[in-house]
């Protein structure tokens, strides 16, 4: 039975916590491409927050609305929301999105991808993603997924993964179908198949943050959000996570961070109302 993931305080919501920690991860004065999927308003908020604070050279990309660097202070309901285009610097077309996504990083390898990236209905211990469906044999699916959209581009370079629900149905031993390439079968398998291109880096969930081990590329717990425990993470993960000896608590949002998020990014309070679940 799933329940709402809460940080055990009413000072901030889980969605606000996620937006803030994702923004922190973007820090740097390099040019970062901040993108996120259509429904990832948390990631969109994170990118805008990072741009306003720690990543002044970030390019915030709204895929569905097709623009770079919109200047919203009220979070749109999706990256496809035409209101997300207000104050933008450039219209971008699908042909460009496909070209850039397929080609991956440009020649000089100077663009870092920040923010979240991709999620899905299933993810396994190597960060492979499934948006196709659950069960089989195909096409006799128990649950028909929405389709793969642009998840193919997980194969073209490093990216972070993002989930609004943490449970054993989502975090599974093995994905039923693979629509996005993570570290494949672990080890060097991805490097061998995809010309040495790097794979997923961080995994954001409502209760924790994970990364991948250096050699086996297995998902490893990095921190647990306030209000949650390592045991809760293990209980709700359908595969064996690598658990380090010491797992810190995710640094909670500061007053300063919440102030900027609520007055310059999400004046409408969408993130305060966003429901993320565990179990």
Whichever of 70 and 172 has its CB closer to other proteins, that residue is 70
Question: By CB under 8 A, is residue 79 in contact with other proteins?
Answer: no
DSSP per-residue codes, 96-133: HHHHHHHH-S-TT--PEEEE-EE--SEE-TT--EE-SE
Smallest distance, other proteins to C-beta of residue 220, A: 11
Quote the distance between the C-alpha of residue 186 and its chain's center. Answer: 20
Please list, in sequence order, all residues whose beta carbon lies within 8 angstroms of the beta carbon of residue 271, skipping any fewer than 6 positions away. Answer: 13, 15, 16, 19, 41, 42, 45, 75, 261
Selected binder of other proteins within 106, 140, 142, 196 (CB under 8 A) = 106
Smallest distance, other proteins to C-beta of residue 180, A: 18
- Pattern 156-195, other proteins, x by CB under 8 A: ----------------------------------------
Distances in Å between the alpha carbon of 29 and those of 53, 71, 110, 182, 259? 10, 19, 12, 27, 22
Smallest distance, other proteins to C-beta of residue 20, A: 7
Whichever of 23 and 129 has its CB closer to other proteins, that residue is 23
- The SS3 call for residue 203 is strand
Question: By CB under 8 A, is residue 257 in contact with other proteins?
Answer: yes
Query: Taken in order 25, 236, 124, 60, is the CA torsion positive or negative?
Result: negative
Selected binder of other proteins within 13, 25, 179, 236 (CB under 8 A) = 25
- Binding residues for other proteins, rule CB under 8 A, total 55
Q: Taking the CB of residue 150, how many other CB atoms lie within 10 A of it?
A: 17
Question: By CB under 8 A, is residue 96 in contact with other proteins?
Answer: yes
CA–CA separation, 15 and 12 (whole Å):
8
Question: By CB under 8 A, is residue 230 in contact with other proteins?
Answer: no
Please list, in sequence order, all residues whose beta carbon lies within 8 angstroms of the beta carbon of residue 242, skipping any fewer than 6 positions away. Answer: 213, 218, 219, 220, 221
Question: By CB under 8 A, is residue 15 in contact with other proteins?
Answer: no
Question: By CB under 8 A, is residue 57 in contact with other proteins?
Answer: yes
- Return the bridge partners of 223, or none: 209
Whichever of 28 and 238 has its CB closer to other proteins, that residue is 28
DSSP letter (8 states) at residue 84: G
Question: Do the beta carbons of residue 58 and residue 112 sit within 8 Å?
Answer: no
Question: By CB under 8 A, is residue 92 in contact with other proteins?
Answer: yes
Rule CB under 8 A: which residues touch other proteins?
20-29, 31, 33, 49-50, 53-57, 59, 67-68, 71, 85, 87-92, 96, 98-100, 102-104, 106-108, 111, 202, 209, 211, 222-223, 246, 248, 250-251, 253-254, 256-257, 260
């Amino acid at each position: 039975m799933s329940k709402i993931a809460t940080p055990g305080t009413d000072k901030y919501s889980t969605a606000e916590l996620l937006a803030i920690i994702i923004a922190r991860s973007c820090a740097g004065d390099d040019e970062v491409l901040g993108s996120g999927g259509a429904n990832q308003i948390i990631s969109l908020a994170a990118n805008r927050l990072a741009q306003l604070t720690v990543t002044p050279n970030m390019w915030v990309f709204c895929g569905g609305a097709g623009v770079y660097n919109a200047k919203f202070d009220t979070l749109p309901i999706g990256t496809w929301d035409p209101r997300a285009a207000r104050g933008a610097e450039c219209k971008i077309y699908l042909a460009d999105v496909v070209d850039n996504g397929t080609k991956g990083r440009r020649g000089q390898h100077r663009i870092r991808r920040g923010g979240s990236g991709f999620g899905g209905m299933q993810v396994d211990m190597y960060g492979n993603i499934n948006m196709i469906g659950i069960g089989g044999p195909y096409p006799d699916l128990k649950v028909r997924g929405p389709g793969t959209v642009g998840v193919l581009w997980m194969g073209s370079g490093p990216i972070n993964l993002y989930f609004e629900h943490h449970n054993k149905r989502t975090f599974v031993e093995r994905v039923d179908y693979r629509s996005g390439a993570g570290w494949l079968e672990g080890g060097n398998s991805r490097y061998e198949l995809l010309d040495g291109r790097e794979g997923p880096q961080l995994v954001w969930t409502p209760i924790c943050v994970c990364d991948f081990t250096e050699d086996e590329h297995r998902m490893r717990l990095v921190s647990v959000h306030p209000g949650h425990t390592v045991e809760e993470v293990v209980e709700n993960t359908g595969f064996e996570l690598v658990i380090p000896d010491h797992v810190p608590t995710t640094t909670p949002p500061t007053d300063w961070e919440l102030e900027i998020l609520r007055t310059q990014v999400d004046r409408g309070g969408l993130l305060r109302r966003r429901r993320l679940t565990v179990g």
